[in-house]
Amino acid sequence: MYVQDALTLGKLTLNLGIRGDLYRGLSSDSLAEPRAGASYQIKKTNTVVRGSYGRFMVTPYNENLLISSETGEGGLAQHIFGAFGSQPLRPAHRNHFSTGFEQAIGKYFSVEADYFWKFTDPDFDFDVLFNTSLTFPIQWRKSKIDGASIKVNVPDFHGLTAYSVMGHTRARFFGPEIGGLIFNNPEQINSNAPFRIDHDQAFEAVTHLQYQYGKNAPWFGFTWNYQSGEVAGAVPFALNPTTPVNLSNLTADEQLQIGLACGGVVPSLGTPLTSCAPSQLTATRVVIPAPGTENADRNPPRVAPRNTFDVGAGMDNLFRTDHYKANLRFTVVNLTNKDALYNFLSTFSGTHFIPPRSYTAELGFTF
């Protein structure tokens, strides 16, 4: 059940509402969820400022919920060996804040920026049973997720259009874990310490330029994509400068995927690396923290940063007709054929490489 309304008071616009949710599953909960948003236009400077707040109920995932809800603190992995107590996963409560602005600068330039904060208590995630497709919902004590986005836009400047979108996401979860199966970091199961989940990324940016000389002329486009690298929690690291690093938690195939090497020796599919001296451990597709510096919150292993470039060219209304139009386009994705990981051993998507260089030609008709 919900009620909402929009009010306009001069240059101020308000969106106000409240929603009520009632959850009856393996646990029970109810919550009143107010939402409020406001924007204000400063006409003299062509500025719009805005902000919003919302409170939400986040319900547990349903898949294998019954099993996860009977495993108790520490998860099923500990409960079968005598963990104390058990409790169903309960709905979470989230406070979501956001603020931002839009600024026009003349006729040819605009900037838009936003920042958000999400505080969820507790919060949900999934874990996978070994290398199977079986997933179990798990619940952490709380999460704090915040991020920023900035968009710079050039609508049309003598045939040139351009935009650049930049973003930052900080995704921190806090233990202990309640319910589910977790193997990725067993020493943290009952810890209150924060850690980063795999969609945490310090910086990402997409910049696109396109030029067209005249309405019926060909256009040419260029796109630059930068990713600083998502968290890759399954990557091995050295606890200190002297203790050998145990590499047996990764298969030979997984070691090859991250470009792992020990003193220049690389694994083969039949002969995985089993251990390595900290000073000799290297990888080409992930960033391994220096010996003794790994921190699940401040300095976790990550996918290596990458730059990729795409180019394209085309022509709209190829035959310059009014009613039936033909469009021609040619694009090259990953122009330099960059070899890089997108993620590594992610819970749902597993491991993905970015696509290799590819060519696409398109001919379209509009009528």
What is the DSSP-derived secondary structure letter of residue 288? P
Residue pointed to by tokens 């090259």: 332
Q: Do 218 and 270 belong to one domain?
A: no
Q: Domain total for the chain?
A: 2
Q: Is 77 strand, coil or helix?
A: helix
* Separation of alpha carbons 220 and 213, rounded Å: 10
Of 167, 180, 182, 196, whose CA–CA distance to 294 is shortest? 196
For the residues of 227-253, what is the DSSP string, one character each? E---B-TTS---SSSSSPEE-TTS-HH
Residues 17, 103, single domain; the answer is yes
Let me know if residue 350 belongs to a domain: yes
- Are 337 and 294 in contact by the 8 Å Cβ rule? The answer is no
Of the residues 252, 277, 300, which one is the last residue of a structural domain?
Answer: 300
The answer to whether residue 75 is domain-embedded is yes
Cα 51 from Cα 39, distance rounded (Å): 7
Helix (H) or strand (E) holding 254: helix 252-257
Same domain flag for 209 and 273: no
Domain boundary among the residues 242, 273, 300 is at 300
Which of 175, 76, 79, 83 is CA-nearest to residue 125?
175
Whether the CB-CB separation of 176 and 162 falls below 8 Å is answered with: no
Give the pLDDT score at 77. Answer: 47
Domain identity same for 157 and 37 = yes
User: 218 with 290, same domain?
Assistant: no
Domain that residue 119 falls in: 2-233+310-366
| Residue 296 and residue 188 share a domain | no
Q: 342 lies in a domain? A: yes
Q: Residue 94's domain is classified under what CATH number?
A: 2.40.170.20
Would 348 be classed as within a structural domain? Answer: yes
- pLDDT score for 82: 40
Are 228 and 244 members of one domain?
Answer: no
Identify the pLDDT of residue 199.
87
- The answer to whether position 93 is within a domain reads yes
Q: Is residue 58 part of a domain?
A: yes
Residue 22 lies in a domain: yes
Residues 182 and 276 in one domain: no
Residue 305 placed within a domain: no
Please say which residue of 270, 300, 330 terminates a domain. 300
244 and 227, same domain (yes or no): no
- If asked whether residues 29 and 136 sit together in one domain, one would say yes
Answer yes or no: do 90 and 182 share one domain.
yes
pLDDT by residue for the chain (367 residues), tens only, comes to 889 999 999 999 999 999 999 999 888 999 999 999 999 999 999 999 999 999 999 998 887 777 666 655 555 545 553 444 456 788 999 999 999 999 999 888 999 999 999 999 999 887 766 666 677 788 889 999 999 999 999 988 999 999 999 999 999 999 887 766 555 554 555 678 899 998 899 999 999 999 999 888 999 999 999 999 999 989 999 999 999 999 999 999 999 999 999 999 999 999 999 999 999 999 999 999 999 999 999 999 999 999 999 999 999 888 888 788 899 999 999 999 999 999 998 876 789 999 999 999 999 998 8
In a shared domain, residues 266 and 360 = no
Task: Please state, as a whole number, how many other Cβ atoms lie within 10 Å of the Cβ of residue 325.
Answer: 15
